[in-house]
């Protein structure tokens, strides 16, 4: 694994929330779009914890607006005054609620891979402990951890994966909810250090919930995908092409194939495309194209979409639109646009561009 030098522990601190698709990580405040299936797209103008606008990809019209929260699959978990509410983004209707009991204020930080449970977190100043609450429809578990240096990463079955912040980066630790114990050894790639350097820039999850794939970007312009296997509690670090320019590294977009076996990583800044075999954690295909020199004057988060047949990936970075033909290994540059999110119509013949001014139909090339 390339050494990804730590810039800031939280990507939101790179730059304040500013223009959509630019300035900070999609995990925090940059705009993003998530395909929900059934011809729907979840548009998040203010980032992964913001409100959700559900777009009908058949017509280009919005169906409903959902509150801020954490979206996993097609289920949105949102914080209420008494607990957590789950909403089905496919229908716009609540599915269940849960009451949260806590002596301190705890905020929603994540959900389980199957979206059935929510994770909340807060700091107990009096006890000097980090409080983590895991709540489902009729069940709640509360754990306490020493110091403030903890953050949520993932939850699958009884395994709660936590980020443990260190002075020079952070590591991933597993907490067993069944036994109530924190595993002493951090998760790590056998070939690399357990310490992760860099900013978590974007993330995708496999359809079956087994793999969590996170893009990390370092200040030296190196980047890698961290593959966390939630079934076996193992990790792999997969280097991506390109180094030397932080802004170009932040242009990497990730799209997972519909069968969940291949992760495509596309960087307009570096002009690189890499296909990763998710099962083995190895780059199985890589090619390059003429990059967009000079477009990235600031860290720029890309927005992207995979066509229904998997033959094309549309990527917008800094207002420049590209079409990646995955089988042909070619990349075509299209007319510039400034986009909040992208989504292909179910027939693959139309690409919808979500912009500040509204939703625009774009030709597919």
Q: What one-character-per-residue DSSP string does 52-117 give? A: EEEEETTTTEEEEEE-S-EEETTEEEEE-SSEEEEEETTTTEEEEEEE---SS--EEEEE-TTSSS
State the residue range of the domain holding 181.
11-362
Dihedral of CA 139/143/148/150: which sign?
negative
- Domain membership flag for residue 353: yes
State residue 21's pLDDT score. Answer: 31
Answer yes or no: is 304 within a domain.
yes
6 located within any domain: no
- The pLDDT of 99-104, averaged and rounded, is 95
Contact 218, 197 (CB under 8 A): yes
Tell me the pLDDT tens digit for each residue of 264-303. Answer: 999 999 999 999 999 999 999 999 999 875 555 667 788 9
To the nearest whole number, what is the mean pLDDT of the chain? 88
Give the pLDDT confidence of 242-260 residue by residue, as tens digits.
999 898 999 999 999 999 9
Residue 18: how many CA atoms within 13 Å on its side-chain side? 11
Indicate the pLDDT class of residue 357, thresholds 50, 70 and 90: confident
78 found inside a domain: yes
Asked if residue 209 is part of any domain, the answer here is yes
pTM (2 d.p.): 0.88
Q: What is the pLDDT at residue 297?
A: 65
What mean pLDDT comes out for the span 30-43?
88
> Over the range 118-149, which residues count as b (16 or more CB within 10 Å of their CB) and which as e?
bbbbbeeeeeebbbbbbbeeeebeebebeeee
Number of domains in the chain: 1
Query: Residue 230: inside a domain, yes or no?
Result: yes
| Residue 84, φ and ψ in degrees, nearest 5 | -135, 140
Does 137 fall in a domain? yes
CATH code: domain of residue 147: 2.130.10
Highest mean pLDDT among 89-93, 249-253, 320-324: 89-93
Is 4 within a domain?
A: no
């Amino acid at each position: 694994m390339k050494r990804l030098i730590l810039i800031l522990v939280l990507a939101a601190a790179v730059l304040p929330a500013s223009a959509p698709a630019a300035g900070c990580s999609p995990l925090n405040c940059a705009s993003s779009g998530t395909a929900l299936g059934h011809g729907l797209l979840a548009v998040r103008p203010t980032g992964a914890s913001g409100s959700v606008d559900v777009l009908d990809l058949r017509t280009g019209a919005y169906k409903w607006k959902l509150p801020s929260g954490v979206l996993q699959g097609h289920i949105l978990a949102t914080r209420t005054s008494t607990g957590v509410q789950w909403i089905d983004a496919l229908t716009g209707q609540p599915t269940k609620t849960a009451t949260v009991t806590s002596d301190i204020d705890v905020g929603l930080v994540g959900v389980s891979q199957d979206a059935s449970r929510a994770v909340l977190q807060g700091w107990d100043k009096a006890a000097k402990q980090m409080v983590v609450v895991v709540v489902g429809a009729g069940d709640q578990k509360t754990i306490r951890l020493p110091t403030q240096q903890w953050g949520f990463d993932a939850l699958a079955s009884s395994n709660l994966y936590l980020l443990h912040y260190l002075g020079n980066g952070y590591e991933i630790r597993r907490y067993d909810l069944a036994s109530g114990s924190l595993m002493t050894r951090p998760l790590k790639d056998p070939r690399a250090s357990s310490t992760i350097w860099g900013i978590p820039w974007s993330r995708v999850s496999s359809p079956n919930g087994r793999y969590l794939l996170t893009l990390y970007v370092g200040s030296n312009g190196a980047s890698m995908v961290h593959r966390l296997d939630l079934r076996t509690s193992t990790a792999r670090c997969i280097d991506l092409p390109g180094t030397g320019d932080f802004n170009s590294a932040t242009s990497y977009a990730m799209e997972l194939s519909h069968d969940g076996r291949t992760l495509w990583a596309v960087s307009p800044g570096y002009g690189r495309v890499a296909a990763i075999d998710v099962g083995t954690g190895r780059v199985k295909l890589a090619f390059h194209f003429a990059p967009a020199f000079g477009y990235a004057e600031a860290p720029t988060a890309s927005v992207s979409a995979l066509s229904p047949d998997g033959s094309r990936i549309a990527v917008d970075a800094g207002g420049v639109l590209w079409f990646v033909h995955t089988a042909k290994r070619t990349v075509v540059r299209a007319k510039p646009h400034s986009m909040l999110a992208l989504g292909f119509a179910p027939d693959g013949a139309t690409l919808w561009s979500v912009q500040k001014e509204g939703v625009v139909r774009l030709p597919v090339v």
